[in-house]
Structure 1
Amino acid sequence: MGETTTATETDPGAGGAPPRRRHRTTLLVAVSVTAVAAVAVVGRLGLGGGAGQPPGALPRAGSTVAVTRTTLTERTEVEGELGYGAEIPLPVRATGTVTWLPEPGATAGRGETLLRVDDRPVVLLYGTLPMYRELGRTQAPAATGTPGPETGTDGTETGKGGTGTGAGPGKATAPPPADPAPPAPVPLRGMDVLQFESNLAALGYTGFTVDEEFTAGTERAVRRWQRSLGLPETGRIGLGDVVYASGRVRLGRPGVRPGQPAGENTLSFTGSSRKVTVQASAEEVSWATRGTAVTVTLPDGRTVAGEVAGVGRTASAPEGGQAGAPPTVPVTVTVADQRALGRLESGPVTVAYVGRERAGVLAVPVAALVALAEGGHGLETDDGRFVAARTGLFADGKVEVSGPEVREGLKVRIPK
């Protein structure tokens, strides 16, 4: 189960926000019942309040505080794991012997070599459409015309299967038709061509129009690129020459060793940005919607801003197989400011999200509540009267209050 913590935003001039404290989720349900006991404990300890107290300190028993209008925010904490996410196999289509592999944890960007197969580089490009065919200029199918007339041994035309002449005595025989010219090359077309040309241009190889046609200009640019890679300048891209990914990747542990044949599990990758994975209870995952802002607390106590980027659609049994534990759903949280994470690459973290929030409500410190003889709760005014007060949200040492006589600015006492 996660833990629930609360935070509040105080009005300007209210002396700052009180320090955060953690409460179990079950305590939040029962806190209204135990408020009087809590008040008694605070009174006996003589915590906070009075002149010379630091900003945000709890009010001292016997002191007077004002009812303020503020925003109360309840925050719930769940445990998460910082890392790069699950490793995904790279769609390596090259065939042959693996001759070089990168170190696990290395990163690669557009145009960089992921591995070498038969001592040929397999290059990373950016895109979502996988490589599914060879790219290059293709020839049009050969023209199939009607065959010309057959001729006999004396050069005269013959009918099919016959030996008669096709012309009378003294007439010239017509020359055979000339062979047709070879068809001109036609460009290969498709979205995969557009994707490849976009990468080629981004790498600085130009001289063609970036579109869906693999033209002679594209071929010349490919030859220049192949020369820079130390490859034969064929002007064609083989099925296993490139691998597409959505962006820069971080390479995982390889599934083979140099000297073994390349295959589907040759190399895996993750994104290059660190993220947090939370195994959220399937019963309480409604808080996790794409774009929800959260706060991530790192192992050293520092906090960074995060945002929910994805929520799994399949619930699974929690790790450890705890009896009676609810199934969990994976929630991915991204951190925009990667530099704020420092050098930490993995480890346990805490993710806090807003559970409930009440804006513009009247609130007092929880310690100001008193139990009324007729039942319920109330507040003691500075002139000794008691006024009934209905309680609402409890958050970070404050409680939402309302009632006919409860108004902003009302001075109330912290009971001794």
Structure 2
Amino acid sequence: MTAPTATATDSAATDSGAERAPVRRRRPRTGTALVTAAVVVAVGAGGAAAIGFGGRDPGTATASTLPPATAQVTRQTLVDAQTVDGELGYGTTRTAAARRGGTLTWLAPTGGTVKRGQPVYAVDNSKVVLLYGGLPAYRTLRSGVEGADVKQFEQNLSALGYTGFTVDDEYTGSTAEAVRDWQEDLGRDDTGRVEPSDIVYADADVRVEGHEASTGDTVQPGKSVLTYTGTSRLVTVELDIDDQRLAKKDNKVGVTLPDGKQLDGLITEVETVIETGSGGTGQDEPETRIEVTVTVADPKALAAYDQASVKVAFTADERADVLTVPVAALLALAEGGYGVEVVDGGRTRIVAVSTGLFASGRVEVAGDGLTEGLTVGVPA
């Protein structure tokens, strides 16, 4: 905040001063303009003034020309809040890509749910199955291999009911025997080895959102096959980097559905993403965004909607029972900090103040002798 400086002097009168993480392709967004809704729950009377700054000598009482406008010091609850557009759906969309070349012979149906151990798609009639885990398959698992990826795979193999091995970070001959049983059940060659192209890892069950290829297509490694999401109904919000203060994990938010119904929500995930341009003039500069995932307390209330635009009300900060003045009433003092011009009858004096929360055009203030109901000057 920049303001003209009020110079401290011993004169009896002075005039008022002058006016004072993951990289993604940018998705088309509709209706994502931010809607400011900084809420103030007033306890006392309030006033409004034009934005501007000015000042006089702190502590000096004057009989000079009074300020062009005034407002009152109020005691109230000040809330820094903002309402933005969000999308109700199934969370972040991800892509499953072929890990080896061949003919695409089967795809899980759009809108269907794929659970652990079930096929997502098939290449050359070899099923690629879903397993749970955050570590992607990146190497061939065979006897003698050790590591976190081995343990993750063995945890899945055990959960699918296969036995005879120890779940740890060592791929042993016993693991290979269990894998052969698993491969036989899937109709694969029972090699006892697990190739990266055999698996799609996800955190949990997935919902197939769409197909990126058709059965019969010849696919090469890296070719997108289908897109998928989680299965839980979520609200996703994209914030500008300047609004990062709103995105605090585990904070409560309010969600308003298209029919006006309001639901309680909770921020469950906050992720910084870099979106790349979609091509064309001025579209290629990367943009950093904050992606916020919100869950609602009553998921059944979302049953009427598959995907929809919603409003999400964030509260960044709140101060209860504090003194406030319009931001425009602040004066920059020569000795540093801020003050306000208290108007008392036909005279004025400058009171130095400390500031707190700024919201809704007002600011939390505290200073010697500053009380609710005092009148302060506001530049025109």
Partner of 1:384: none
Partner of 2:95: 89
| Maintained 8 Å contact 1:99/1:117 | yes
Deviation (angstroms), 1:396: 8.2
Please tell me whether Structure 1 or Structure 2 has the larger radius of gyration of its CA atoms.
1
Deviation (angstroms), 1:402: 6.8
Say yes or no: does 1:98 pair with 2:104.
yes
Structure 1 pair 217–253 and aligned structure 2 pair: CA distance change class (3 A): same
Task: Choose the corresponding residue for 1:235, options 192, 195, 199.
Answer: 192
Task: Choose the corresponding residue for 2:245, options 281, 287, 292.
Answer: 287
Partner of 2:291: 332
Partner of 2:236: 276
Deviation (angstroms), 1:304: 3.0
| Maintained 8 Å contact 2:265/2:297 | no
Higher relative contact order (CA 8 A, sep 6+): 2
Deviation (angstroms), 1:223: 2.8
User: Distance between the aligned counterparts of 2:52 and 2:265, measured in 1?
Assistant: 29
User: Distance between the aligned counterparts of 2:165 and 2:49, measured in 1?
Assistant: 66
| Maintained 8 Å contact 1:74/1:355 | yes
| Maintained 8 Å contact 1:98/1:262 | yes
User: Distance between the aligned counterparts of 2:128 and 2:276, measured in 1?
Assistant: 37
Deviation (angstroms), 1:333: 1.6
Partner of 1:157: none
Deviation (angstroms), 1:85: 4.7
Say yes or no: does 1:342 pair with 2:309.
no
Partner of 1:142: none
Task: Choose the corresponding residue for 1:296, options 255, 266, 273.
Answer: 255
Partner of 1:200: 157
| Maintained 8 Å contact 2:239/2:292 | no
Task: Choose the corresponding residue for 1:80, options 86, 97, 103.
Answer: 86
Say yes or no: does 1:255 pair with 2:261.
no
User: Distance between the aligned counterparts of 1:110 and 1:346, measured in 2?
Assistant: 25
Say yes or no: does 1:134 pair with 2:140.
yes
| Maintained 8 Å contact 1:82/1:277 | no
Secondary structure of the equivalent of 2:219?
coil
Structure 1 pair 398–195 and aligned structure 2 pair: CA distance change class (3 A): closer
Where in structure 1 are there 5+ consecutive unaligned residues?
Answer: 15-26, 40-66, 138-186, 367-374, 380-387, 411-416
Structure 1 pair 7–131 and aligned structure 2 pair: CA distance change class (3 A): same
Deviations 1:300-349 (A, max 9, x none): 222332325112346879x9989xxxx96432221233743613332222
Structure 1 pair 342–234 and aligned structure 2 pair: CA distance change class (3 A): same
Give the aligned residue type for 1:131. A
Deviation (angstroms), 1:299: 2.0
User: Distance between the aligned counterparts of 1:407 and 1:321, measured in 2?
Assistant: 52
Deviation (angstroms), 1:208: 1.0
Partner of 2:182: 225
Deviations 1:355-393 (A, max 9, x none): 5533441479x9xxxxxxxx97889xxxxxxxx999987
| Maintained 8 Å contact 1:99/1:118 | yes
Deviation (angstroms), 1:290: 5.0
Give the aligned residue type for 2:129. V
Task: Choose the corresponding residue for 2:271, options 289, 306, 310.
Answer: 310
Say yes or no: does 1:352 pair with 2:309.
no
Structure 1 pair 286–241 and aligned structure 2 pair: CA distance change class (3 A): closer
| Maintained 8 Å contact 2:181/2:190 | yes
Deviations 1:186-214 (A, max 9, x none): x3334332221121112221221112322
| Maintained 8 Å contact 1:94/1:122 | no
Say yes or no: does 1:71 pair with 2:45.
no
| Maintained 8 Å contact 1:193/1:211 | yes
Give the aligned residue type for 1:123. V
State the superposition RMSD in angstroms.
Answer: 4.8
Structure 1 pair 266–188 and aligned structure 2 pair: CA distance change class (3 A): same
Partner of 2:15: none
Give the aligned residue type for 1:358. R
Structure 1 pair 115–394 and aligned structure 2 pair: CA distance change class (3 A): closer
Give the aligned residue type for 1:110. R
Corresponding pairs, count: 303
Structure 1 pair 335–289 and aligned structure 2 pair: CA distance change class (3 A): closer
User: Distance between the aligned counterparts of 2:50 and 2:266, measured in 1?
Assistant: 28
Partner of 1:4: 36
| Maintained 8 Å contact 1:131/1:239 | yes
Partner of 2:167: 210
Where in structure 2 are there 5+ consecutive unaligned residues?
Answer: 1-32, 54-68, 327-339, 345-349, 374-380
Task: Answer 1 or 2: which has greater strand percent.
Answer: 2
